[in-house]
Structure 1
């Protein structure tokens, strides 16, 4: 009796990626059909609604974004309009404006559009304190945050772009093997290439013209906004029992607010973003 072959990991990954891309494409198509209302359209829309109705819809938007933020998942304008705003889309700009005000005044958070092209929002800390102190990722307070810090540190120390195998080799030295199920993290490779990427802490991009196919990592939009490079350098100093100033180039970048290498990386990423894993 012939047994049916189980699909390989590569095939399953390819199928999963196609499904993910299909959902993304559908959301993008829905967003294309949504035209940002003009100020006059918004005003006419507000005249047809009571203040209580607009406040209620704003509260629903705030709640939706807060729930998404618990898993650090960016929110697309398309899903907000489709799932929450619905028939109130003519006053969408007013709803978002009020939501931003609530996040700032009530929660001390800032609603930021990290991807103006695809209209994606995240919440970041809005406290008026130095960047290192205000960072939502203050220190490796739990194992998964520690894992993220290690990866961000490697990318920062290597100039902003790191090949995938360098990340895996570093983790193996720390006894975190991406090929084995970890007691704390579970599927390490999935956490790094899917969860951290979906949360926009990392960008995971295919390197063109490589055979076999290779990928590279960069800091994601959320990491740029939430994680202080000075803090990362301090973390490296503690890890290696070394004065952070001994890494002179990185120290200058971390303490002058220079992010030219990260900006350059982001611009390179946009040129072949379609090859990124989601």
Structure 2
């Protein structure tokens, strides 16, 4: 390109920059303001989740007027967005469904989706937030053939708003929770994949998960979360039915053994008593 033409192009670029640059400060301020407001709304969503959990633990109804006064405050124009995002969080992570029971006074309650699909022992021994998270992980493991890669588990947790290395406002460090806490409590098994180099890991159900819930209950929970029915997953449903039958047979066998032992003990006591009388 001729030198004179290059000089003209540079001059044109400088004029263009001079025209654009005065507009940038205002645009930057608007962007910053929007970013700050979005940050405040995100904080309100977090506070709303805490508020809903607090009301659930107290077994109190949730009123719109109270939410506006105690949580939303000056962000009333964003009330529906904040409530919707908080409700999605409650459902996805905690298994709690926000239901409006009085549309005139705008009164809500939280319904525990796990009450029907979880063993009471699981709910009683792990607080509600962790129970929902655990059931979701157990569901992923079941749906992946009873053994899920760590990568697959994290894909599910990411959808739920939990990320490796990012502290969660309810759960703290998610990696510690799923690879150490729940493993130490025997709800999950976390092991290295054989012959993997570099090493990769996978999750399985732990002993307490097998003892305190069932494949059918986990499938029911996952179906409820996705607003479906267990039979929508035919192969998993059949496997869960087989698991129920095997558990029923195991319980029947255990009762039969207990009855046989009790009968043998009773016979031994009766025999011993009879022998003593003859002596």
TM-score, length of structure 1 as denominator length: 0.43
Higher Rg of the two aligned structures: 2
Structure 1 or 2: more helix by fraction: 2
